[in-house]
Amino acid sequence: MLIKFVDTLLQILPWWLRSGLGGKIAFALGKQLDGVGDATTEAAKVRFPDPARPDALALLGSDRKIRRGSVEPDEVYAPRLRRWLDDHRTRGNPYAMLAQLHAYFAQAPFPIELIYPTGRRYSLATDGTVTRDDLQYWDNPNPAQWAHWTLIYHWPTAINPLGLWGVSGAKWGGNLNLWGIAPGSLTPAQVRDLVLVPTEWNAAHCRGVIVMLSPGRRIWGYPPRKWNTGNGKWGAGGRVVRIPIGI
């Protein structure tokens, strides 16, 4: 049990100050000191992430740059905030970015691939495991940008791009530099959600692009498949959503 300032003051004062006007003044001063002491104690406690203090988790996450998933529960987010220093030590490498993406989307995971111009690919499975391999062929749109990556979200649901520039109202620069998305497919808030972790965990010298592939869609002939499959056309379903990072 904590000792209150107001009790201590009333105990150490002379008997003739414990009642009347003197007692009232001492009581008021003690209550003010107790308020300051309680606030200081509470402020120290909220610096330690605790699911029992959910109101402080958002502020701690912003301060420590550990973003919270849209439906991530307090019991999962608080432990992530406690290990923030360890996580930031490897910030900028592919494993760190994919680990944060897995934690961010853990409540509704989907496969994610991070591919560099050399063809080096890091694949994140829905269970959080990361595998590394090399593609035999990967088309780098701009070979001069060697510090570049392509992050592929294998989105679990269909996204309806408007298609080519200038067709059906599609335009470059709308919706946070998206290449034309049909209304209702992705909102600007959802786009910011998708960009948040890759932007904050990207290496300082790198540029990148997020590609969202809904089921059956491809980009630059990737993922590879056999001739005359799917819709009966080579490269069918190639329309995708692209989100630039660091450009």
pLDDT digits (tens, 9 = 90+) for 29-70: 888 888 888 888 777 777 788 887 888 898 898 888 898 887
Residue from 48, 76, 80, 50 nearest 65 by CA: 80
Residue from 85, 94, 79, 41 nearest 63 by CA: 85
pTM, two decimals, is 0.67
Residues of the chain with pLDDT > 70, as a percent, come to 71
Residue 241 phi, psi dihedral angles, 5° rounding: -105, 125
Task: Give the per-residue pLDDT at 228.
Answer: 42
Residue from 195, 163, 200, 157 nearest 181 by CA: 163
Residue 143 CB-density burial (10 A; 0-12 exposed, 13-18 middle, 19+ buried): exposed
Residue with tokens 């660091």: 246
- What's the length of the chain? 247
CB of 94 closer than 8 Å to CB of 202:
no
Neighbours of 211 (CB within 10 A): 22
- DSSP secondary-structure letter at 15? G
pLDDT in tens, 170-202: 333 444 444 444 445 566 777 777 888 898 888
Q: How confident is the model at residue 230 (pLDDT cuts 50, 70, 90)?
A: very low
Q: What mean pLDDT value characterizes the chain? A: 76
CB of 179 closer than 8 Å to CB of 173:
no
Q: How confident is the model at residue 125 (pLDDT cuts 50, 70, 90)?
A: very high
